[in-house]
Amino acid sequence: MSHFGRRAVSLLAMILFEKFGQHQPLNRQAERYAKEGVPLSLSTLADQVGAGCAALEPLIRRIEAHVFAAERLHGDDTTVPVLAKGKTDTGRCWVYVRDDRPFGGQTPPAAMFYYSRDRGGEHPQGHLATYAGLFQADAYGGYNKLCAPDREPGQILEVACWVHARRTFFVMADLAESARRKAQGKTTAVISPLALEAVRRIDALFEIERTISGETAERRRAVRKELSAPLVADLESWMREQRAKLSRGNDLAKAMDYVLKRWPAFTRFLDDGRVCLSNNAAE
């Protein structure tokens, strides 16, 4: 228990929330408390943060075990500005999400966060060291070793995100945004009829998904086999045909390559009702 005493647990909670939830440095907290007539030194605040984190460690490990006991995970990372001596560094915040609700699962959803000073592949490899199963994320190369067939304790199966695939096509097909940028004197993307068609075809898959959200994995798989699989087959044929007509440096070609090079990961949802089309749960 903090040396503030049992009556000041709420104060300790506020210190922790201000630091980790509101990103308020301890020196600023100390200054604010001093102005309110509460003399708390920087060293005292630092001691309490350490004590609070130690007290929460068992709960953190329970949440971690719960998240990584899932058969399917979402993962993502984002930049975090970090104060350094005389400058601002860029760290990374990693998140792994367990959410079984899309396929009717009753297990409570949860998320586990980690921090690192860089985006080295050793970080997710360490986070996921004990995990085996489905993993939905972006195409970050640091995940590649996790998908090795001979990996211990088991292979991680990559699941791609159709929202990522759609995003680049949408930029090239967004007439309204292009008009706004043109009016502002900014560079606009070339509006591509092929990009519009790609967005239309991908949106048709999401329309089907909306009808089976929350259904059992078996039901979702059956509907996908009946309705989504033919659309996916047509999309692949159309995309490969159009890609053959484009030069390597073409932006549309790059968007198509992103999908076609990862086709098994993009189509894994057809064979497994637990899989989601998007990684939005983590993003």
CA distance 173 to 199: 8
Q: What are φ and ψ of residue 90, in 5° steps?
A: -115, 115
The residue length of the chain stands at 283
Do residues 190 and 173 lie in contact, with contact meaning Cβ atoms separated by under 8 Å?
A: no
Given pLDDT bands bounded at 50, 70 and 90, which one contains residue 1? Answer: very low
In the block, which residue shows the tokens 């210190």?
A: 15
| Conformation bin of residue 154: beta by default, left when phi > 0, alpha when psi is -120 to 50 | left
User: Please, which residues have CB within 8 angstroms of residue 246's CB and are 6 or more apart in sequence?
Assistant: 252, 253, 256
Q: What residue type is assigned to position 198 of the chain?
A: A
For 96, residues 6+ apart whose C-beta sits below 8 A from its C-beta are 67, 68, 73, 74, 75, 111, 112, 127, 128, 282
Joined together, the tokens standing for residue 10 give 């709420």
- C-beta of residue 202 within 8 angstroms of C-beta of residue 166: yes
| φ and ψ at residue 257, rounded to 5 degrees | -60, -40
Rg (CA), the chain: 24
* pLDDT value of residue 245: 98
pLDDT at 3: 52
**Backbone angles phi and psi of 53, in degrees to 5:** -65, -40
- Assess whether pLDDT exceeds 80 at residue 131: yes
Mean pLDDT of the chain: 94
Give the residue among 139, 134, 127 at the shortest CA–CA distance from 154.
134
Do the beta carbons of residue 228 and residue 205 sit within 8 Å? Answer: yes
Say what percent of the chain tops pLDDT 90: 86
pLDDT-based confidence at residue 234 (cuts at 50, 70, 90): very high
**pLDDT over 90 at 107, yes or no:** yes
DSSP 188: -
Per-residue pLDDT tens digits for 170-191: 988 886 677 677 778 887 766 7
Average pLDDT over residues 235-262: 97
State the DSSP code for 142.
G
Residue 190 has a pLDDT of: 66
What is the predicted pLDDT for the residue at 186? 84
Q: Which two tokens stand for residue 148?
A: 């090795």
- Helices 193-212 and 229-243: crossing angle in degrees, nearest 10, is 160
pLDDT surpassing 50 at residue 267: yes
